[in-house]
């Protein structure tokens, strides 16, 4: 189970509502799953495209499907990738050399 998922959320302003919806939906699912470190959602703002993209870790696959995210490659840590929601320790889990 190493499949990542992504979903474009819109430009900076338009991305607020879907980002908030992801954050709101995450915590009940996270607690129900036993607070797994590997369940997380990251986001990246692409300045060139003016698009915010959410990246769902493999542990958040079911949630990704609820939001209509599509399979993708694991995002690279650089270029404004940040943790949207999840345990802070997941950064070390997914990006140990960062």
Digit-coded pLDDT (tens) for 9-19 = 998 789 999 99
Query: CA–CA separation, 71 vs 55, rounded Å?
Result: 10
Q: Which domain holds residue 14?
A: 4-94
Helices assigned H by DSSP within 1-98: 16-32, 61-66, 90-94
- H or E element at residue 6: strand 4-10
From the number of C-beta atoms within 10 Å of its C-beta (0-12, 13-18, 19+), residue 52 rates as buried
pLDDT at 98: 61
Please report where in the chains the tokens 């996270």 appear, as a residue: 30
* Greatest C-alpha distance within the chain: 38
pLDDT at 5: 98
pLDDT at 86: 95
pLDDT in tens, 19-75: 999 999 999 999 999 999 999 999 999 888 899 999 999 999 999 999 999 999 999
CB 6 within 8 A of CB 56: yes
Number of folded domains that form the chain:
1
pLDDT at 72: 97
């Amino acid at each position: 189970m190493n499949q990542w998922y992504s979903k474009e959320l819109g430009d900076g302003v338009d991305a607020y509502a879907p980002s908030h919806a992801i954050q709101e939906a995450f915590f009940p699912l996270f607690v129900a799953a036993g607070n797994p470190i590997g369940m997380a959602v990251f986001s990246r703002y692409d300045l060139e495209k003016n698009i915010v993209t959410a990246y769902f870790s493999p542990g958040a696959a079911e949630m990704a499907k609820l939001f209509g995210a599509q399979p993708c490659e694991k995002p690279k840590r650089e270029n404004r990738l940040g943790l949207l929601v999840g345990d802070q320790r997941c950064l070390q889990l997914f990006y140990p050399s960062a």
